[in-house]
Amino acid sequence: MNNLITLNGLLRLILLWALSLAAHGAAAVDAGYVLRPNDTIRLAVYQEPDLSVQVRILKTGEASFPLIGSVQIGGLTVAAAATKLRDLYAKDYLVDPKLNLTVDEYATEYISVIGAVRTPGQIPMPVSGHLDLASAMASVGGLAENADPNGIQLVRASGTTSTFSMETIQGASGRTQLGAGDRIVVSQSAFVGKTVTVLGSVGKPGPLPFPLKGKLDLVNAIAMAGGLTDMANPKKVTINRKGTVTVVDFKIISQRGDRPFLLQPDDVVTVAERMF
């Protein structure tokens, strides 16, 4: 029985110790937090219930307290703001005031992601203030199908602009830290709505959408157009590029996989028929 009582007492002490550590940790985090506009804070003054108050910090960084009025505390840590309030009360109103300042509700700040992403919108900044570029892009589902993977702009709240590619964001650049008010703007691909036209002896002649990544070669274009017909003359394929006509041997090009014949938007490819 004595052993049971001792065990219960020990468990109670461990529980109290754990709660104490948790409270101390929370207080430490709170004390180091930098106050900002729209935070809601609570002031408790020992044995002075009339001075205890809950207030919201204004956009100016000021908050109003009993007796001492409006005080600039935005930009201060909770600990520094508490010291400032304690000094103001001690100066004219209280002898050795004991007070506690805590954050009741943290202000929500945002960064924006707009343009060619899957779910554009605002992303709330974590209370820790740490949000990087890769995490922000992941939060909106990544790039939309019509996005330019090389046209991702980071517009800082200060007005400066940096450009990234999705490839670099998936690497070291993805750790670029964001701040409240920053915007990520993803451009559409310059090839949206662009086409090439394949005519003549192919299975499905007509215009073809140009790939949004900006790369299309002759072999793939003819494959997209249904391939050559039995009547096609593979040695006489012409490419009309803004009035300049080039004649190529498709059979040779299709066999040299290391050197594709690249097309450009608005090119017109014509596959001639065989002459009997």
Check whether residue 119 and residue 73 sit in a common domain.
no
Query: By the 8 A CB rule, do 198 and 225 touch?
Result: yes
**Other C-beta atoms within 10 Å of 90: how many?**
13
Q: Is residue 136 part of a domain?
A: yes
* Residue 18 confidence (pLDDT): 40
Alpha-carbon distance of 232 to 200, in angstroms, equals 8
Which tens digits make up the pLDDT trace of 59-94?
999 999 999 999 999 999 999 999 999 999 999 899
Assess if residue 17 is contained within a domain: no
Report the pLDDT value the prediction gives residue 134, as an integer from 0 to 100: 95
Which of 185, 203, 274 is closest to 237 using CA atoms?
274
Q: What pLDDT score was predicted for residue 276?
A: 66
Measured CA distances, 123 to 30, 132, 183, 210 (Å): 23, 11, 10, 33
Q: What is the mean pLDDT of residues 218-245?
A: 95
6 found inside a domain? no
Instruction: Count the domains in the chain.
Output: 3
How do residues 160-209 score in pLDDT, each as one tens digit?
Answer: 999 999 999 999 999 999 998 999 999 999 999 999 999 999 999 999 99
d(CA 230, CA 234): 10
pTM of the model: 0.61
Describe the strand order of the beta sheet including 244-248 as a list of residue ranges.
206-209, 195-200, 268-273, 232-241, 244-248
Residue 222 maps to a domain? yes
Percent of the chain at pLDDT > 90 equals: 77
Under 8 Å CB-to-CB from 81, ≥6 apart: which residues?
35, 41, 73, 101
Which domain covers residue 75, as residue numbers? 33-105
Residues 101 and 115 both lie in one domain: no
